[in-house]
Amino acid sequence: MFTLPCFASESLASSTEQVSDKINLEAVLEYFRKYKFISAIDAFRKLRDDPNAQLLDIRDEKSLKYINSPNLKIINKDVVQVQFSEDDEGEFVKKVLENFEDAANTNVCILDNFDGNAMKVAELLFKNGFNAAYAIKGGVRGKNGWMEIQETLLPPPVHIYSKKKGKTSQELGTNGGVLQSNEDDNNAISFESVDIRESQGIDNGRVTKSTKSELGIKNGSRSSSPYPNKELGFVSLELAWPI
C-alpha cells in the first residue's frame, strides 16, 4: 500500500517529460519554420548579410507619406512597397511576385506599421513560392520595432523619421521669436530668427491688426570673416487684416 505514491510520482514525472519534449519540439519546429517572426535588429542583419534577403513594406500610402520606408542603399538594396489588403489577397500576391523575379530563392522580410498583418503576409507569401518569409516584430512603430531600436542598434543611414517631425529643431530666441536651425547634407547650418510684433490701428474707420516680422538668415558653412553681421540679411514683412 506504500507503493502507490511511488507509482504516482513516476506517472507525474513521465507526464512532465512528455510536456517538456513537446515544448522542445515546438521550439525546434518554430526555429526551422520558413515563415515566422523576426526581431527588427535580426531583420536588418539578415538584409545586410544575406544576398537573397529583401525588404517588403506592406503599409498603405498614407502611412508611407508620414513615415517612409528605410533607405537600404548602404547595403545596396531597394525596398519593395506593395500595400496589403485582406479583401484582395490574390491581387496582392500577384503584385509582390511581379517585383521579385526569383521568389523561390528570396527570403523576404515584411514590414508593417506594427505587426498586425505581417505574419499573415509571411505565411501567404511562403505558400505562394517564396523561399522564406519573416514578419518583423513590432513593425515600424511598435515595441522593439524599427524606430524604437534604430538610435541604439541601427546605423544612421537606415533611420526613419516622421515627415512632420523631420530633423528640425526650434528654440525660443531672446526676443520672443523662434530660432530654427537646419542641417544640410554638407553639415552646413543655417539659422532663422523670427521676431514678430503686433500692433493695432484704424484705417477708414476699421480697426486693423498689423503683424511685423523681421527675419535674419545665415546660410552656408561657417565663414572665417571677422564681420559676421555682413552675412545676415533682414527681411521685414507687414501684414494687415480687419478684425
The domain ranges of the chain are 20-158, 169-242
Distance CA 139, CA 110 (A): 8
pLDDT-derived band at 30, boundaries 50, 70, 90: low
Are 60 and 83 contacting, i.e. CB atoms less than 8 angstroms apart?
yes
Q: Please, what's the b/e burial string for 53-66 (b: 16 or more CB within 10 A of its CB; e: otherwise)?
A: bbbbbbbeeebeee
Class of domain 20-158: alpha beta
All three cell numbers of 188, joined, read: 552646413
Q: 146 near 40, Cβ under 8 Å?
A: yes
pLDDT tens by residue, 145-196: 999 999 999 999 999 999 875 444 344 343 444 333 344 443 444 434 444 4
Comparison of pLDDT for 169 and 122, the residue scoring more: 122
Task: Answer yes or no: is pLDDT of 24 > 90.
Answer: no
pLDDT score recorded for residue 163: 85
Whether the pLDDT of residue 83 is over 70: the answer is yes
